[in-house]
Structure 1
């Protein structure tokens, strides 16, 4: 046999980074009925009625409320679905996204 030895290089560990998260924010307006907002929150964000009512009331009192936190693509899709539901019903219902710090 041969007297040569083979030294293996250590493999660099690849650290997978968690995806950046984005907040979906409900903006308050004075025209969209509360019941409609609760219905959208239940349908799009899969909230219970009491959770949706709490989010809606927080947005009503403070002007805005974080609805949920998702990856960027999911947050943008949920935001678009909520805005489209309001637009189709003729209400100025508005959701927006913001990167979580």
Structure 2
């Protein structure tokens, strides 16, 4: 599984980050706002954990939308090392 990580920058608006979290990661408004504040204050935040193909697709979708809005938002996809594999 892979984490999709949002990285803070000085130009992407907070509103855009909240809307992206709601649209592409299906977060509610309150959860998206809380995560946006974490990204803003800590420099990054995990939007979700997905199989590799889904994680890379979500990254590409959000970054493409950011570019349309002329925002430099950067996301990364990293292996999830929490070791919480499903043993079922």
Query: Same fold judged by TM-score > 0.5?
Result: yes
Q: Which has the larger radius of gyration?
A: 1
CA RMSD of aligned residues (A): 0.7
Q: Secondary structure, in 3 states, of the residue corresponding to 1:65?
A: strand
Task: Provide runs of 4+ in structure 1 moved above 3 Å.
Answer: none
What secondary structure, in the 3-state scheme, does the structure 1 residue paired with 2:37 have? helix
Where structure 2 has 5 or more consecutive residues not aligned to the other structure, the ranges are 82-88
Aligned equivalents of 1:82 and 1:55: distance in 2? 15
Select the structure with the greater relative contact order (CA < 8 A; seq sep ≥ 6): 2
* Alpha-carbon distance in structure 1 between the residues aligned to 2:65 and 2:25: 12
- Alignment pair present for 1:29 and 2:4: no
The structure where helix makes up a greater share of residues is: 2
- Note the C-alpha offset of 1:36: 1.1
Q: Within the alignment, does 1:70 sit opposite 2:50 as a pair? A: yes
Q: 2:68 matched to 1:88?
A: yes
Partners of 2:33 and 2:18 lie apart in 1 by 6
TM-score (norm 2): 0.89
Deviation at 1:94, TM superposition (A): 1.3
